[in-house]
A and B are shown apart, each in its own frame.
Chain A
Amino acid sequence: MSPKISPNLQLTEDGRLRHLLTLDGLPARILTQILDTAESFISVGDREVKKVPLLRGKAIFNIFFENSTRTRTTFEIAAKRLSADVVNLNIGASSQSKGETLLDTVANLAAMQADMFVVRHSAAGAAHLIARHVAPHISVVNAGDGRAAHPTQGLLDMYTLRHFKGPFHKLRVAIVGDILHSRVARSQIHALTTLGCPEVRVVAPRTLLPRDVESMGVHVYERIEEGIRDVDAVLMLRLQNERMQGARLPSSGEFYKRWGLTPEKLKYAKPDAIVMHPGPMNRGVEIDSDVADGKQAVILPQVTFGIAVRMAVMSMLGGGQA
């Protein structure tokens, strides 16, 4: 009963990436293309001159309506390695508080000859809204919108998984923690199910799971010992401070005891399983330091791969295919 059939905002008519807003509904070939392109950029970081000229003369605006140092920095590094001009804007503290609407802010920035917007916003769908209203030559990259999506994080997690564990169709993966409020979890789930991962599990108390989460193609486990049994990878999520006590959880201590990843619990996974985390970590809440710093953790490579993945996305959107 959909009264309006919307075109796929994210693709051009001939099927190329137009915006990156969510991994929900993006075809596997695009996801794979991004991962493959990222692979070709990995070596750029090791060169003495860490730059390729693919986006020379392009202006990329990092528009952050919600604070983030880490994600903004990796986007900035990625853009600079592609030789683009980068402008960083923290809107949280300026226009919005003066009552300017989101679309007015964006229209003003577009008038400054932007070619690409990297947007983070606290409301789900903000990047979609902007993408619907920008001029045809401007691309939008969603750097996180509310609880909805964080597609570049999802992609860099896929890159990391593929790098360490090989093809997706042979993997069993568990995502552990606050699924309900996590845009990272949603992007991971969409990517994993699209790329053919046969068994995606989510592990959390019922209070931190969307009611109909099974409809996304995942298996629900309440206990971590069962949830990570024999998995190839454990994808931990950050537990936001404001969720640690309240209606959904009694305390961070109880969460740690039941769902925190300790060396003892990690033994339930395959012996060579990898442990991932999108950062920033709460040591002693969702993850034990011995695991975070242990040999199964691939948390720092995730960060490195993140730059290559963001370079891949921006270069594909900017027209310069690697």
Chain B
Amino acid sequence: MKVHIKNGRVIDPATGLDQVQDVYVAAGHIVGLGSGPADFHPNQVIDATGLVVCPGLVDLAVRLREPGGEHMATLESEMHAAAAGGITSLACPPDTDPPLDEPGLIDMLKFRARHMPGPRVYPVGALTWKLQGDRLTEMAELHESGCIAFSQADARMEDTEVLLRALEYAKTFDLPVWLRPQDAFIGRGGVAHDGIVSARLGLPAVPVPAETVALSTILLLVRETGARVHLCRLSSRAGVEMVRRAKHDGLPITCDVGIHHVHLSEMDTADFNSNCHLIPPLRSLRDRDALRQGLADGTIDAICSDHTPVDEDNKQLPFQESEAGATGVELLLPLTLKWAAETGLPLVKALGYLTHRPAGILGIPAGHLAIGGPADLCLFDPEAPWTVTPENLASLGKNSPYLGLEVLGRVRYTLIDGHLDFKR
């Protein structure tokens, strides 16, 4: 399969490239940027006039809901939705049912994913058995099966001894550990930021120390063990400041934020909208601004969708009883463009948070455009408006805080390994 992508605005955040030119793809690889190989006879020509051509997006947190969550969404539906969002590589957290804690489950997931169109799937294995926080998983075996990192997802980790040993064990194999900083006790049962809105609405609250106390524990243990740790879903100003200082001290850490936290705040939960029930909770506007500042100064390395499809039965409940999470794979790009527009960030910089930076965290050869590199590409119209409606979302999860709103930026083509996996 040879593809000639003509006349697109080619952006490669890794190199700073941003110019209108052609891209040539053959046998799953990029074979030409600007000019193609001699006697290139494409099977397909894509006119990309008016479109941005960039590396396929790399999403660090996509719940595919298999195994165990098929009533919410299926591997097939969410792989398709991710491709519709321009995503070509994704990491899926281990909080499935059963959790991804043994090699057989990873083999099955990878086998199923390989045989359907859609992004490359990189499973994150469970750090502890059943995510219960007391017994390590067979990390080396899981790594051989394809796990690229190990995590507790949103499960609490009460025993800090186990956390210390998990980091030491992971360090033995130089495996990265992904942790969302969350104290095992503070804020248990909480569903909203401990701030002005929860004060008014009487929602059980999650105070900021739920994040910062855990963060300080993690940072001390990283200092102690030298383990490579990626911090997931930062939510608070104080948390951003701690990570900033730790990075300044040279700790081997990286950090991400969920796209909804870049835009929304506790104010959006004020009408009990359960689509704004997220983990971690949407915090104050000051916290949100600090997250934006953290992105701007490099404290936060990547933006992810934290895609969590939830069916209506589990969302149409009183806020505190509803299942947390928002659908995200199809909003990751438009909401990142919205953030870039609001902060005056050039596209080539903004897209870096969705491409080479998360690819670097995953340690995969993706997220940039290189001759000889994999032809994972996202072609999108940055000006195309569309309204977020259940019908316009390919994901089976229709749970979006943005339902009914118009966003800009629509993916037109997604190429994965040189195949046209999505076209709109």
Contacts and interface: CB of A to CB of B under 8 A. Distances in A.
Interface of A: 1-4, 6, 24, 101-103, 121, 123-126, 128-129, 133, 145-149, 181, 183, 186, 190, 210-213, 215-216
Contacts of A24: 200-201
A313 to B, nearest CB: 20
11 contacts: A1-B265, A1-B288, A2-B268, A24-B201, A102-B318, A123-B320, A125-B203, A145-B318, A146-B202, A147-B202, A216-B199
Most buried by A among B263, B270, B318, B319: B318
A212 B313 CA distance: 32
A200 to B, nearest CB: 14
B317 interface: yes
Contacts of A101: 313, 316-317
Contact of A102 (B194, B200, B317, B402): B317
Interface string B174-205: 00000000000000000000111011111111
A6 B285 contact: no
A215 B196 contact: yes
A154 to B, nearest CB: 13
A187 to B, nearest CB: 10
Nearest to B198: A210
Contacts of A148: 201-203
A6 B321 contact: no
A108 to B, nearest CB: 15
Contacts of A145: 318
Nearest to B318: A123
Interface string B267-308: 110111100000000000100100000000000000000000
B405 A126 contact: no
Interface of B: 194-196, 198-205, 207, 263-265, 267-268, 270-273, 285, 288, 313, 316-321, 401-405
Contact of B272 (A121, A128, A181, A190): A128
A124 B200 CA distance: 11
A1 B199 contact: no
Contacts of A183: 202
A174 to B, nearest CB: 18
Contacts of A103: 316
B194 A216 contact: no
Contacts of B271: 4, 6, 128
A181 B205 CA distance: 11
Given A1-B267, A102-B317, A125-B318, A211 B405 contact: no
A216 B200 contact: yes
A129 B403 contact: no
A232 B1 CA distance: 83
A128 B270 CA distance: 11
B315 to A, nearest CB: 10
B264 A3 contact: yes
Nearest to B320: A123
Given A1-B268, A129-B316, A211-B194, 8 more contacts: A1-B264, A1-B288, A2-B267, A24-B200, A124-B272, A125-B201, A145-B318, A146-B203
Contacts of B267: 1-2
Which 9 pairs between the two chains have the least Cβ-Cβ distance? A147-B202, A125-B272, A123-B318, A210-B199, A148-B202, A215-B196, A126-B318, A212-B196, A125-B319
Given A1-B267, A3-B401, A4-B404, A129 B200 contact: no
Nearest to A209: B199
A149 B204 CA distance: 13
Contact of B268 (A3, A125, A126, A210): A3
A181 B263 CA distance: 30
Contacts of A147: 202-204
B205 A3 contact: no
A148 B319 CA distance: 11
Nearest to B388: A3
B274 to A, nearest CB: 8
A267 B204 CA distance: 35
A133 B318 CA distance: 12
A2 B267 CA distance: 7
Contacts of A126: 318
Given A101-B313, A125-B319, A129-B272, A212 B199 contact: yes
A1 B200 contact: no
Given A1-B268, A147-B202, A121 B318 contact: yes
B205 A210 contact: yes
Contacts of B273: 4, 6
Contact of B317 (A3, A129, A190): A129
A145 B203 CA distance: 10
A147 B196 CA distance: 14
Contact of A124 (B268, B319, B401): B319
A25 to B, nearest CB: 9
Contacts of B318: 102, 121, 123-126, 129, 145-146
B174 to A, nearest CB: 40
Contacts of B268: 1-3
Contacts of B270: 2
A124 B196 contact: no
Nearest to B270: A2
A177 to B, nearest CB: 15
A299 B385 CA distance: 59
B320 A186 contact: no
Contacts of B321: 123
B199 A149 contact: no
Contacts of B263: 1, 3
A123 B204 CA distance: 10
A184 B405 CA distance: 35
Contact of B405 (A3, A149, A181, A186): A3
Given A1-B268, A4-B404, A124 B317 contact: no
Contacts of A210: 194, 198-199, 205
Contact of A211 (B199, B204, B288): B199
A146 B194 contact: no
A199 B205 CA distance: 27
B200 A3 contact: no
A4 B403 contact: yes
Contacts of A216: 196, 199-200
Contact of A123 (B288, B319, B404): B319
B265 A124 contact: no
